[in-house]
A and B are shown apart, each in its own frame.
Chain A
Amino acid sequence: MLRPLLLIAAILALAVGVLGADYAFGQATLVATYAIAGLGLVIIVGQAGQITLGQGALVALGAYTETLLAMRGVPPVLSVPAAMALGAAGGALASLPARRLGGLYFAMSTLAFALIVEEMLVRWTALTRGGAGLSVPTMTWGGLRVDAPLEQMVVSLAALLLAWLACRRLLAGRSGRAWRAVREDEIAAAEACGIDVAATKLRAFAIGGGLAGLGGALYTHWIGFISPEQFGLMFSFELLMLVFIGGARHLSGALWGALVVVSLPQVIALLRDVLPGQWSRSAGLETVLFGAVIVAVVLLRPQGLAAEARAGQTQVRKGNRD
């Protein structure tokens, strides 16, 4: 636990020195927010072994719930848990086909769930204003307004820390063992031990959905404007990519992945500024370099950045918990 914290502090200090305070804090805010949503995927994909292609929709549920409640003056102490609850409910709903479907077929059903949610957000214009989107008020509680980059970073990192501790506790307990049993073999490892496979999967999706809802609730305030198109399939794939790059079986994989997905394009943008004129003009240069880095990560560290960092350590004994 200490090592990741020290690593975060070191990276942040370096970023502040190189980038300037607000820019660095802005990056840290979004890295932490994406990492929270990523933790949900670590549980669903890395621990319970289920492929989901609709995590973006669960983030959307959290983001819209938080926005609609904040617009009506509900304080975050109530609205954020509500956003998590709706994300969890969405996750539980999305997991129901898992009772009958498995593998890619179940993944397809999560894809369908994401499409339904996106369509609902577009069509329910009386509530969501459809494609016109919603402007999000600043996060406010009592006299406190979370609008400066430093404050946003503190809130995001605090939420990430709490989520991380909760996940760590879950993975070390009965739930974590049940998820890993389902992941390894539903019949031989899980059912033979008396584990209710369907309920275990549902729990993983509900907790993963709750974390996605929390990520969405924070994301909406930091971005300040939401529309259904932001939470399309590309966003779901981006989250999935995040956990595979970081290491789906480790909680720290969510942080590593978020760091790559959020900050790498920015690092590339900074490097591009020092390239000669014609190079810096090339359209999509960041995208090409980003793609190249992703391919390199997948080739060199197929189990993700977090897994490589722990290679040779006590992974098996600790059950790939963190």
Chain B
Amino acid sequence: MSFSRFILGCALAMSTAFALAATPGVSDREIVLGSIQDLSGPAAMLGSPVRDGMLLRLEEANAAGGVHGRKLRMVIEDTGYDPKRAVLATRKLLDRDQVFAFLANFGTPVVMATMPLIVDAGRLHLFPFSPHESTYSPLHPLKFQIFAPYQSYMDAATRHMVQSRGYKRTCLLYQDDDYGLEVLKGVEAGMARLGQSLVEKTSYKRGATDFSSQIARLRGADCDFVVLATVVRETIAAMSEARKTGWMVDMMVTASGYSAQTHELGGAAVEGLYGVSVLPHPYAEGANSALADWIKRYRKRFGVDPNVWSAMGYSIADLFVQGANAAGRELTVERFVSALEQLKTTRDFFGSPEYRFSHDDHLGNRYGRLAQIRDGRWVILSDYLK
């Protein structure tokens, strides 16, 4: 080996070592990830399964030798849906834990308060649970999202329902926050593309339990199809109120109401409810062998049955593992971003969509599937609607 080659080799090795040392959260032995979840606040019922789903995938990856020999470690902070706690938790994860990336941060106020801190620190902000457009647009190299925006898939789902079933009088019941407004925009856009408009729309305040006046108003407008921008409890309450008054109108809820809890708690009142799914619920009954095996592993690890949120958490962690594997041994933020932009996922055993990112687009999926509650469980009716 010539002296100049030796020097070049040393310089390359040093620069690689420096680049690795300069990548927070990445050491020879492990990759540290962070997640800000609601484990004690109003969305704790969703945050806990998301966390467990992620942990299961990371533990499996570690059991299989990790990613290019590095173990994956996740530090999870509970914010109770409080932006103040979220800001402090973010600083902890950035400064003390030195995480490489944030995964699945939960809730719009929390995400909006913490996302600027995260990307300003040069860390990845991956797949947050927030419908806010700013999680992927305008394009930012460190922001990636896989959850289809309400606006996009509710546009397609409303059009599909109105076209295929010939509804003439479509109405909307929506929560008066960012979630409800996003759905409203999507439904109105879908109706406009069909040359129609909403016959009636009415809102409710988050946490409402009595929907008698809203249902009376929608019934008074003679709606033949009601879109629900509600979450689980409100979906059940609104539909129960309609059925109680003998109104058998067709209703369709967003992915926020697509949950096993909807039919478990709602019972007969929610039978026939349509819903939009961005990932099918993992039912043990009728599951394919891979899914049945996953459910068994999840039960063994956490002692409870998984739900759709567990599947989402698992999918998010799986996407990270795929991206990190594709990025290669010399893991840096730039390499990970480049790997994710070129990644082509396939349908997995959950029936998830094929996620596609590109250099110009960091939203991996825009579509949802139509489902319906039949005999006390969600049944998928269509492929991803475009």
Contacts and interface: CB of A to CB of B under 8 A. Distances in A.
A114 to B, nearest CB: 14
A19 B179 CA distance: 36
A131 B91 contact: no
A92 to B, nearest CB: 27
B295 interface: no
A22 B94 contact: yes
B44 interface: yes
A275 interface: no
Interface string A1-18: 000000000000000000
A132 interface: yes
A21 B92 CA distance: 10
B96 A135 contact: no
- Grouping DSSP codes into helix (H, G, I), strand (E, B) and loop, the A interface class, with mixed when no group exceeds half, is helix
B77 A269 contact: yes
Contact of B78 (A26, A131, A224, A286): A286
B205 A122 contact: yes
B177 A269 contact: no
B78 A283 contact: yes
A122 B177 CA distance: 8
Interface in B26-58: 39-40, 44, 47-48, 55
A286 B40 contact: yes
Given A131-B177, A132-B177, A23 B92 contact: yes
Given A222-B87, A269-B77, A284-B39, A227 B177 contact: yes
A220 to B, nearest CB: 10
A224 B112 contact: yes
Interface residues of B, number: 36
Contacts of A20: 95-96
Interface in A97-130: 119, 122-123, 130
Interface string A213-227: 000000100111101
B181 interface: yes
B85 A265 contact: yes
Nearest to B114: A224
Contact of B92 (A130, A149, A266): A266
A261 to B, nearest CB: 9
B176 A122 contact: yes
- Grouping DSSP codes into helix (H, G, I), strand (E, B) and loop, the B interface class, with mixed when no group exceeds half, is helix
Contacts of B83: 223, 225, 230
Give the interface size class of chain A: 35 or more
Given A133-B178, A229-B206, A284-B78, A262 B88 contact: yes
Given A23-B91, A283-B48, A225 B109 contact: yes
B75 interface: yes
B149 interface: no
B249 interface: no
Interface in B125-139: 134
B108 interface: yes
A232 B92 CA distance: 26
Contact of A130 (B88, B89, B94, B177): B177
B204 to A, nearest CB: 11
Interface in A249-264: 262
A27 B177 contact: no
A133 B77 CA distance: 24
A30 interface: yes
A273 interface: yes
B193 interface: no
B85 A224 contact: no
A21 B95 CA distance: 8
8 contacts: A131-B176, A132-B181, A225-B113, A227-B108, A269-B77, A269-B78, A270-B92, A283-B48
Interface of B: 39-40, 44, 47-48, 55, 75, 77-78, 80, 83-85, 87-89, 91-92, 94-96, 108-109, 112-113, 116, 134, 175-181, 205-206
Interface of A: 19-23, 26-27, 30, 119, 122-123, 130-133, 135, 149, 219, 222-225, 227, 229-230, 262, 265-266, 269-270, 273, 281, 283-287
Nearest first, the 3 A-B pairs at minimum CB distance are A131-B177, A284-B40, A225-B112
